[in-house]
Structure 1
Amino acid sequence: MTLSAFTRTNPRIVGLTGGIASGKSLACTMFSSLGVPTLCIDLVARSMHQDPSHPATRALATAVPQAMTADGALRRGSLRTLFARDETANTALKEIFRPYVQQAVRQWTDAQSALYVVWEAALLADLGLSVDRILVIEAPPELRTSRMLTRSPGWSRDDAEHLIAVQAATPLPFASPTDILMNTGTRDDLSQRVRAQHACYLARWS
């Protein structure tokens, strides 16, 4: 069963996305505090990356051995170094893990009974799954760079700016209706915008 084949007894799906350090994880947490089931798809993938026994991780170890630790897990930091700069390795990573991530997302969504759910993903277009609406969290690149360097002191400005540029080159699946929330102010400002967007979704789908 594909997500596009869901009946109306299944929840509507909001795909929450945005560039790194835009504030999408914070926005996702705010939706969760409002009682909306939320799933961070990046964390789903990360749990697979760190499991040496997972079939996708074993396949990646064969395809891109330089990205793996001695015990067979994905080397921490490789997503912003090797995979952000090596298109061949990045393509292998996406193609190997995509079907497993899709399956996990479908299973989680099937188990929900809410009016709508939120999937959070940095690269929503890479999932290959349909959503009812896309919610993009946006912030200027310089502000995002500053946030990245503050929360990850080990990163260089070049690493941060390169990753922002790579993500900007990845198209969003705008075939779905899209909403945009700007996150340039305080946490309270974003919270108010999330509450307003939540009210819109309730009104639309109730």
Structure 2
Amino acid sequence: MTFILGLTGGIGSGKSAASTWFEAQGITVVDADIVAREIVEKGQPALQQIHAAFGDWVLLDNAELNRRALREHIFKDPNARKVLESITHPAIRQSIIQQLQAATSPYVILVSPLLFETNQHELTDHSLLIDATEELQIQRASQRDGQSIEQIQKIIQAQMPRQKKRSLANDIVLNDGHLDHLYSHLKPLHNAYLQRSKQKKAVD
């Protein structure tokens, strides 16, 4: 079995920049956010279950998921969120496992902003947190996404507190400089993960 690294970080932390760097080194990346979108695409069983649970309003005229309407609905109704998660989380987990097992790179990375919140870290051997101060998170996310500071703060507050993530992660990279600064920290970690992968395969 291949060594699996869980990569996480809050909004604007630089998690995506880190995963792109690892991909450039030839490492397969499974992105939980992409998987979450794939499992609710037209014709997928999870979308059919969502339709059955919530009704016709959850679909657009072309039979695709009305993401905005559903997002607004679950934001107002915690019980609706629980129903949705009971449908999507098992489907996401199953797809992630399949993709991790299919990877052929020296090791494989699961990128997930909710690695610890959704217990996806249980699927990994080791975890890496890309960390940043809240001020930097807000600055980067507002420049990148054009969202208001208030919206970004709400997203940060909805995620696991920074210190809690730091206490759970095996490795932490503080991304408080330029990209070259981030990459200089990732390179030795990449070499360490290659070694860990060799050791795991030798044991297996």
Q: Could you state the TM-score of these two structures normalised by the residue count of structure 2?
A: 0.81
Q: 2 CA distance for matches of 1:43 and 1:159?
A: 22
Moved more, 162-171 or 112-121: 162-171
Q: How far apart are the structure 2 equivalents of 1:67 and 1:36? A: 37
Q: Quick one: which of 6, 19, 36 aligns to 2:10?
A: 19
Aligned pair partner of 2:134 in 120, 141, 145: 141
Supply the distance in 2 between the matched residues of 1:144 and 1:160 (Cα, whole angstroms).
Answer: 8
Please list every run of 5 or more consecutive structure 2 residues that lacks an aligned counterpart in the other structure: 199-204
The 2-side partners of 1:75 and 1:45 are apart by: 14
Aligned equivalents of 1:82 and 1:158: distance in 2?
Answer: 20
Within 1, Cα distance between the matches of 2:171 and 2:21? Answer: 16
Q: Over residues 8-60 of structure 1, what are the superposed CA-to-partner deviations in whole Å (9 max), with x where a residue is unaligned?
A: xx1011010111121111101101111111111110111223x1321212222
1:138 and 1:180 in contact (8 A); partners too: yes
Structure 1 residues 23, 133: closer, same or farther in 2, change over 3 A? same
Aligned to 1:124, what secondary structure does the other structure show? coil
Equivalent residue number for residue 201 of structure 2: none
Residue 160 of structure 2: aligned partner: 168
Match of 2:172 in 1: 180
Shift of 1:72: 4.0
Give the total of aligned pairs.
194
Aligned-partner residue type, residue 131 of structure 2: E
Distance 1:63 1:33, change over 3 A: same
Contact 1:36 / 1:116 at 8 angstroms: preserved in 2?
yes
- Secondary structure, aligned partner of 1:20: coil
Which 5+ residue runs of structure 1 have no aligned equivalent? 1-9
CA contact (8 A) 2:21 2:183 kept: yes
Match 2:149 to one of 135, 148, 157: 157
**Structure with the largest fraction of helix:** 2
After TM superposition, give the deviation of residue 99 of structure 1 in Å.
Answer: 1.8
Indicate the residue corresponding to 2:197 in structure 1.
205
Amino acid at match of 2:93: Q
The residue aligned with 2:202 is none
The answer to whether the 8 A contact 2:129-2:172 is kept is yes
Structure 1 partner of 2:183: 191
Aligned-residue sequence identity (percent) comes to 30
**What amino acid sits opposite 1:60 in the alignment?**
I
Secondary structure, counterpart of 1:135 in structure 2: strand
